[in-house]
C-alpha cells in the first residue's frame, strides 16, 4: 500500500494553477500531450459550484457475497473502507472504485465528515453515496454517480486501498492529481501534473482575453482560435 511520503513532493505553484484551471481546460492540456482517456464518466458534483484538486487516495470495492458476514469485517478497523477513512490525509481526494454500481451507497455523511476533518479535500466515486444532503454539507467537494439509501455491504465489499483502480472508466493511480468541477472529474498523471496545470492556467488567461474581446463585439474569426495577432495583443495586455 502506497503512503504519501512514497511520492516526491509537488510544487505549490501546481495548486495555485489548479485554482485557475477548469477541468475542460485541463482536459485540453492533457489532450495536447496525447492523453484523452482522463475524464471520468459518471461522477458529478452533488451540488453546483463544488471544486476540488488533490492527490488521489484510492479505495476499491468488489461485489459482496453473503457468506462473508457483515459483522466480521465492519467491526475490523483494518477493513479497507474504515482504514481509508482514518488514513487519508490533508490535501487528498478519496477516489472509490464502485464499478459504476449504484445499488448501494459506498459511504454516508458520518464517514465523509470524518475525512473532511482529517483534511481531505474531496470524495469521488462512480458509485452512489448515502445521506446525500448531509454528505454535500460536510465542507468538501463530493462527486458521485448517484445516491442510494442502502449501506454499501448490501452490494459491495471494500477489497483494498492505495492500489491502482478504475473510477468512471479511467485508470487512477495513488498520488495522481484529481481535479473536479461542474463539468466533472479529470485525472492528471502525477509526473506531468505541474506542467499540465501551468499550461492550463495560461490557457485560461488567454481565453479570458478572448472572452472579453468577444463580449466587446469581436468576431470569432482570428480571435478563437487566436491568430498570431490576437496572441500578440494578449501578450501586450499582460504588460499593462
User: CB–CB of 156/61 below 8 Å?
Assistant: yes
CATH, domain range 4-195? 3.50.30.40
Distance CA(38)–CA(27), nearest Å, equals 7
Distance CA(237)–CA(5), nearest Å, equals 42
Distance CA(77)–CA(169), nearest Å, equals 29
The count of residues in the chain is 240
Q: Which of 7-11, 14-18, 73-77, 201-205 has the least mean pLDDT? A: 73-77
Boundaries of every domain in the chain: 4-195, 202-237
pLDDT in tens, 201-237: 999 999 999 999 999 999 999 999 999 999 999 999 9
pLDDT in tens, 121-139: 999 999 999 999 999 999 9
Burial bucket for residue 25 (CB in 10 Å: 0-12, 13-18, 19+): buried
- Nearest to residue 211, comparing CAs of 18, 22, 16? 22
pLDDT in tens, 22-52: 999 999 999 999 999 999 999 999 999 999 9
Burial bucket for residue 58 (CB in 10 Å: 0-12, 13-18, 19+): buried
Beta bridge partners of 204: none
Question: Structure pTM?
Answer: 0.94
- 178 Rama class: left (phi>0) / alpha (psi -120 to 50) / beta: beta
**Residue 233 dihedral angles phi and psi, to the nearest 5°:** -65, -35
Distance CA(106)–CA(63), nearest Å, equals 12
Amino acid at each position: 500500500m502506497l503512503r504519501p511520503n512514497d511520492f516526491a513532493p509537488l510544487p505549490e505553484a501546481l495548486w495555485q494553477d489548479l485554482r485557475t484551471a477548469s477541468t475542460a481546460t485541463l482536459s485540453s492540456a492533457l489532450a495536447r500531450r496525447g492523453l484523452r482517456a482522463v475524464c471520468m464518466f459518471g461522477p458529478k458534483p452533488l451540488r453546483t459550484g463544488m471544486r476540488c484538486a488533490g492527490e488521489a487516495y484510492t479505495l476499491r470495492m468488489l461485489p459482496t457475497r453473503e457468506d462473508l458476514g457483515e459483522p466480521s469485517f465492519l467491526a475490523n478497523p483494518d477493513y479497507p473502507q474504515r482504514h481509508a477513512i482514518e488514513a487519508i490525509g490533508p490535501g487528498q481526494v478519496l477516489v472509490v472504485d464502485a464499478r459504476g454500481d449504484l445499488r448501494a451507497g459506498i459511504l454516508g455523511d458520518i464517514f465523509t465528515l470524518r475525512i473532511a476533518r482529517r483534511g481531505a479535500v474531496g470524495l469521488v466515486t462512480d458509485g452512489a453515496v448515502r445521506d446525500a444532503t448531509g454528505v454535500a454539507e460536510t465542507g468538501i467537494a463530493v462527486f458521485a454517480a448517484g445516491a442510494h439509501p442502502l449501506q454499501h455491504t448490501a452490494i459491495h465489499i471494500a477489497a483494498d486501498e492505495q492500489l491502482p483502480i478504475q473510477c468512471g472508466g479511467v485508470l487512477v493511480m495513488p498520488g495522481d492529481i484529481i481535479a473536479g468541477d461542474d463539468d466533472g472529474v479529470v485525472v492528471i498523471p502525477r509526473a506531468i501534473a505541474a506542467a499540465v496545470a501551468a499550461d492550463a492556467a495560461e490557457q485560461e488567461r488567454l481565453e479570458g482575453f478572448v472572452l472579453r474581446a468577444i463580449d466587446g463585439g469581436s468576431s470569432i474569426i482570428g480571435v478563437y482560435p487566436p491568430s498570431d495577432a490576437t496572441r500578440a495583443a494578449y501578450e501586450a495586455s499582460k504588460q499593462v
